[in-house]
């Protein structure tokens, strides 16, 4: 016998709390539970605070426009992806123009032919705007649209993050003066349009250049500007990167990431001095089964960081691209004192690295995507190793004691046991013979 459905009798505050952790896709079907739930859901921030507009289907268009209407004068964020219908693009741009004073984040992705129209919609003040992404690449090189001097009526005092692709800056804009996070994409053929960061973004603290062929000729900044940056990221063809980094005052910049980094590794390493901290970190993209591999060197005396990013085929245990870094060629291995690495790339890291004679501490990081537990075929020689740290995440991954034992006996060798074992946000089951045998090699601190 079915019981009585008490769903509609739940207190409103309990329903709101239930909606709190929902995404919009999870919230949308719940609006059909009952009239009461619908009223609560339509007024919930999950429904109206962050809206994505796409013209893939008529239903998606109607739903996004309805959500914009239901913001009812409140601040919100909007992402626009459109390319099918000129009428639809014109309509959503007119909506943006009327809502500009309430937008907190605005991301526009349109074909380059609509770039001028998109910029015309951004001529009103944007007093709440914090983030602007304008991605409107043309269909041919040099088909760039000039950003008007009256953008946001020269009033966007909270704007801090900017990403431009397909637009040309011919003069410094008042609206961009407070921007601290700048991402500029320039494709081949448009190199001459790369703006000078110092001239156009005097408050910049984080810079990203995608396309670096004209970097050395376009950037006319004093060394004080570069030393004031928190980070610089350079992405582009290997030959473009080579000329770019040799014309920049790398010694003045605290954090630099280069992608692809392997071709510039030897030159950048030659500029580092003294003891170094080494890190090998993975970051997976599950859609195409590839991962980003970042090799990071930190100069201990100055804390300057140099990061080199490339792709790594992470599903093949113990292997990596032959074009990636071969540290055997560089005489810096004896300068490493600490070593951090991701557990999922442990076998390949051990195979790639030469002996590390002065490393005293190793930190193994367990990410949310897990690890296979495979034992390295080739061990890493670390004769001065004294400390082994395990670092997990908020979901507290479980690390079998057998995997720890294999690390202490097969992955890392040449040291004098026992190691000092430190565990942070990791669960180690306290049962079985593996844990008892582990005590021969490591002592839990």
Question: Is residue 305 included in any domain, yes or no?
Answer: yes
Phi, psi of 430 (to 5 degrees): -100, 60
State both tokens at 333.
Answer: 């291995």
Which region holds residue 150: left if phi is over 0, alpha if psi is between -120 and 50, else beta? alpha
Question: Is residue 417 included in any domain, yes or no?
Answer: yes
Question: Is residue 66 included in any domain, yes or no?
Answer: no
Write a three-state SS string for 158-222: CCCEEEEECEECCCCCHHHCCCCEEEEECCCCCHHHCCCHHHHCCCCCEEEEECCCCHHHHCCCC
Question: Is residue 383 included in any domain, yes or no?
Answer: yes
**What is the count of structural domains for the chain?**
2
Question: Is residue 215 included in any domain, yes or no?
Answer: no
Question: Is residue 406 included in any domain, yes or no?
Answer: yes
pLDDT in tens, the chain (445 residues): 344 455 666 777 777 776 777 777 777 777 776 777 778 777 777 778 899 999 888 888 998 999 899 898 999 999 999 988 889 999 999 999 999 999 999 999 999 889 999 999 999 999 999 999 999 887 765 567 889 999 999 999 999 999 999 888 989 999 999 999 999 988 777 777 788 899 999 999 999 998 777 777 788 889 999 999 999 999 887 777 877 777 788 889 999 999 887 778 888 888 889 999 999 998 765 555 557 788 999 999 999 999 988 876 543 444 444 445 666 666 788 899 999 999 988 888 888 888 999 999 999 999 888 788 888 888 999 999 999 999 998 888 888 888 888 888 889 999 998 899 998 998 888 766 656 666 767 776 6
In angstroms, the CA 209 to CA 215 distance is: 8
Question: Is residue 431 included in any domain, yes or no?
Answer: yes
Question: Is residue 348 included in any domain, yes or no?
Answer: yes
Range of the domain at 43: 12-48
């Amino acid at each position: 016998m079915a019981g009585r459905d008490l769903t509609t009798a739940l207190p409103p505050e309990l329903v709101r709390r239930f909606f709190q952790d929902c995404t919009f896709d999870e919230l949308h079907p719940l609006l059909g539970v009952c009239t009461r739930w619908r009223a609560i859901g339509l007024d919930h921030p999950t429904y109206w605070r962050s809206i994505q507009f796409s013209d893939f289907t008529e239903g998606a268009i109607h739903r996004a426009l309805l959500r914009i209407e239901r913001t009812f004068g409140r601040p919100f964020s909007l992402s626009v992806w459109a390319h099918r219908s000129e009428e639809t693009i014109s309509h959503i741009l007119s909506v943006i123009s009327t809502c500009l004073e309430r937008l907190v984040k605005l991301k526009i992705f349109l074909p380059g032919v609509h770039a001028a129209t998109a910029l015309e919609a951004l001529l009103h003040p944007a007093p709440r705007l914090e983030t602007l992404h304008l991605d409107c690449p043309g269909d041919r090189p040099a088909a760039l649209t000039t950003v008007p001097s009256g953008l946001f009526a020269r009033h966007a005092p909270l704007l801090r993050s900017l990403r431009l692709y397909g637009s040309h800056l011919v003069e410094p804009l008042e609206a961009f003066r407070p921007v601290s996070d700048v991402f500029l994409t320039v494709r081949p053929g448009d190199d001459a349009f790369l703006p000078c960061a110092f001239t156009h973004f005097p408050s910049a603290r984080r810079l990203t250049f995608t396309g670096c062929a004209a970097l050395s000729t376009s950037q006319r900044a004093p060394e004080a500007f570069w030393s004031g940056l928190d980070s610089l990221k350079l992405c582009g063809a290997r030959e473009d990167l080579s000329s770019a980094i040799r014309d920049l005052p790398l010694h003045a910049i605290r954090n630099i990431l280069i992608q692809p980094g392997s071709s510039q590794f030897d030159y950048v390493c030659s500029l580092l001095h003294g003891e170094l901290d080494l890190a090998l970190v993975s970051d997976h993209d599950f859609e195409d089964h590839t991962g980003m591999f970042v090799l990071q060197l930190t100069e201990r005396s100055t804390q300057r960081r140099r990061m080199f990013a490339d792709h790594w085929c992470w599903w093949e245990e113990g292997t990596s691209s032959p074009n990636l870094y071969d540290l055997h060629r560089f005489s810096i291995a004896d300068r490493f004192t600490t070593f951090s690495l991701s557990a999922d790339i442990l076998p390949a890291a051990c195979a790639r690295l030469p002996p590390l004679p002065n490393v005293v501490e190793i930190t193994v990081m367990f990410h949310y995507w897990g690890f296979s537990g495979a034992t390295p075929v080739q061990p890493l020689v670390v004769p001065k190793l004294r400390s082994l740290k395990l670092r997990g995440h908020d979901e507290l991954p479980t690390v079998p004691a057998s995997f720890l034992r294999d690390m202490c006996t097969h992955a890392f060798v040449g040291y004098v046991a026992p190691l000092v074992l430190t565990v942070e946000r990791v669960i180690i089951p306290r049962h079985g013979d593996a844990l008892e045998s582990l005590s021969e090699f490591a002592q839990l601190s």
